[in-house]
């Protein structure tokens, strides 16, 4: 038995196999997929890292002959290259066993899994796991940012097309946790799904309308233009900064990152531009009674991001850490036939990273926030502390 289904109904471990998607999202309304997802929530396990990190890593280890069985259950051994979610379905009993071991830190494997996929692989397999980690976790093995990559076109889920995954790359580079949790979806989902959509008035969301949205949100039409790749660098740097600010807001306001911000809207708007980025400020004002404008709320998001950055800097973060994601993006992208499959250019990406620093008010050499930017955001005390430890440019 693996546990219980929802509402405390008894649930037996059915003899079946679970895909990463079933397990992580619980998309089945009943049965082992739902049950496994429910157990994850009951035990407080990170389903994403387990499904798309730990499970594929264990299957990779099985391929190499490093670990082939757990508690008598055989670990799947694919006959193809494993990249994140591209792996075999997992027998439900094995899945339940692994979750129990992780939750209660049972044995060497359980204790290692409890630290997350990266540390598990490094602890159990050492340098032998470096290549698979570099394909799965941006920044790994030296400076992993968060969980396995997603919405960056370098794996089997969330493939936004070239060149828009450059924005994802910049977000991953400067993030301090999994940006897919609250940031990446705003840009990638919208640019992947909305072009050509039918609006309420029957018209189509054309590229001319999309460029107008891009100009409204980022100040540049080229940010959403498929023909704009690395030049000018600001074209992809600006949306990366904007959505990091908005991501901080969503995490603070407990809003859905699939729905907010309203990058595109298929309804008519007062100015004729098919976007509604003021939705968060209007809801915040209505719910709290504190009248707050879109611009004021954006500044709050920027303040949060800069405070987080200052904490990272205090802990030793420098530009080199941000650039640690580059090897991950140098692997071929998942564009099956797309021209961007082998188009990543590290030096041009570094120029975009510099543009992101400059747009954010950070020092372009170190990536550290400047005193001017911190004081502009009301964070003079933070600037003073960074200065006292020699980490204010």
Name the most confidently modeled range: 48-57, 159-168, 352-361.
352-361
Q: Is the pLDDT of residue 29 over 50?
A: no
Q: How far apart are CA 217 and CA 292, in angstroms?
A: 18
Model confidence at 160, pLDDT cuts 50, 70, 90, reads confident
Higher-confidence position of 33 and 167: 167
Same domain for 90 and 180: no
Higher-confidence position of 306 and 27: 306
Q: Is the pLDDT of residue 123 over 70?
A: yes
Cα(first)–Cα(last) distance of the chain, in Å? 58
How does pLDDT run across 274-289, given as a tens digit for each residue?
A: 999 999 999 999 999 9
Give a yes or no: residue 106 inside a domain.
Answer: yes
- Domain boundary residue, one of 112, 128, 144: 128
| Overall domain count for the chain | 2
Same domain for 291 and 229: yes
Give a yes or no: residue 138 inside a domain.
Answer: no
pTM for the model: 0.87
Instruction: Look at residue 134 in the predicted model and tell me its pLDDT.
Output: 86
Q: Pull the structure tokens for residue 223.
A: 């940010």
Give a yes or no: residue 243 inside a domain.
Answer: yes
Widest Cα–Cα separation across the chain: 64
Mean pLDDT of 65-83: 90
Buried b (16+ CB within 10 A) or exposed e, 350-389: bbbbbbbbebbbbbeebbbbbbebbeebebeebbeebeee
Name the most confidently modeled range: 29-33, 167-171, 263-267.
167-171
Instruction: Look at residue 246 in the predicted model and tell me its pLDDT.
Output: 95
CATH of the domain at 354: 1.10.599.10
Q: Which of 92, 100, 5 is nearest to 43 (CA)?
A: 100
Name the most confidently modeled range: 196-205, 264-273, 280-289.
280-289
Give a yes or no: residue 153 inside a domain.
Answer: no
Strands 10-11 and 3-4: antiparallel
- Domain boundary residue, one of 106, 128, 150: 128
Strands 69-70 and 17-18: unpaired
- Domain boundary residue, one of 74, 106, 128: 128
Give a yes or no: residue 338 inside a domain.
Answer: yes
Q: Is the pLDDT of residue 156 over 70?
A: no
Same domain for 40 and 178: no
Same domain for 360 and 302: yes
Give a yes or no: residue 157 inside a domain.
Answer: no
Same domain for 96 and 199: no
Domain limits for position 254: 165-388
């Amino acid at each position: 038995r693996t546990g219980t289904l929802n509402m405390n109904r008894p649930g037996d471990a059915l003899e079946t196999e679970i895909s990463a998607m079933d397990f992580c999202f619980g998309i089945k309304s009943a049965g082992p997929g739902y049950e496994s997802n429910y157990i994850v929530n009951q035990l407080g396990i990170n389903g994403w890292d387990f499904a798309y990190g730990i499970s594929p890593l264990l299957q990779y280890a099985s391929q190499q002959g490093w670990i082939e069985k757990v508690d008598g259950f055989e670990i799947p051994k694919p006959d193809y290259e494993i990249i994140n979610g591209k792996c075999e379905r997992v027998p439900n009993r094995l899945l339940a066993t692994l979750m129990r071991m992780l939750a209660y830190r049972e044995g060497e494997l359980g204790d290692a899994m409890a630290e997350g996929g990266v540390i598990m692989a490094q602890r159990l397999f050492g340098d032998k796991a470096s290549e698979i980690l570099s394909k799965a976790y941006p920044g790994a093995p030296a400076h992993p940012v968060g969980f396995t990559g997603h919405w960056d076109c370098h794996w089997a889920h969330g493939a936004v097309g070239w060149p828009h995954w450059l924005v994802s790359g910049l977000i991953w580079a400067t993030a301090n946790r999994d940006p897919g949790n609250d940031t990446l979806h705003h840009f990638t989902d919208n640019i992947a799904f909305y072009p050509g959509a039918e609006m309420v008035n029957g018209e189509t969301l054309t590229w001319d309308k999309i460029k107008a949205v891009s100009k409204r949100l980022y100040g540049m039409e080229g940010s959403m233009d498929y023909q704009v790749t690395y030049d000018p660098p600001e074209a992809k740097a600006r949306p990366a900064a904007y959505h990091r600010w908005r991501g901080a807001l969503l995490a603070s306001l407990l809003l859905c990152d699939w729905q907010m911000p309203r990058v595109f809207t298929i309804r008519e708007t007062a100015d004729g531009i098919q976007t509604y980025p003021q939705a968060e400020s209007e809801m915040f004002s209505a719910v709290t009674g504190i009248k707050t404008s879109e611009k004021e709320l954006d500044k709050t998001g920027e303040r949060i991001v800069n405070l987080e950055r200052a904490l990272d800097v205090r802990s030793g973060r420098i530009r080199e850490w941000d650039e640690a994601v580059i090897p991950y993006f140098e692997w071929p992208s998942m564009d099956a036939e797309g021209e961007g499959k082998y188009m990543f250019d590290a030096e041009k990406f570094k120029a975009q990273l510099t543009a992101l620093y400059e747009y954010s008010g950070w020092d372009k050499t170190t990536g550290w926030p400047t005193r001017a930017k911190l004081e502009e955001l009301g964070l003079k005390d933070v600037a003073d502390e960074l200065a006292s430890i020699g980490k204010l440019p």
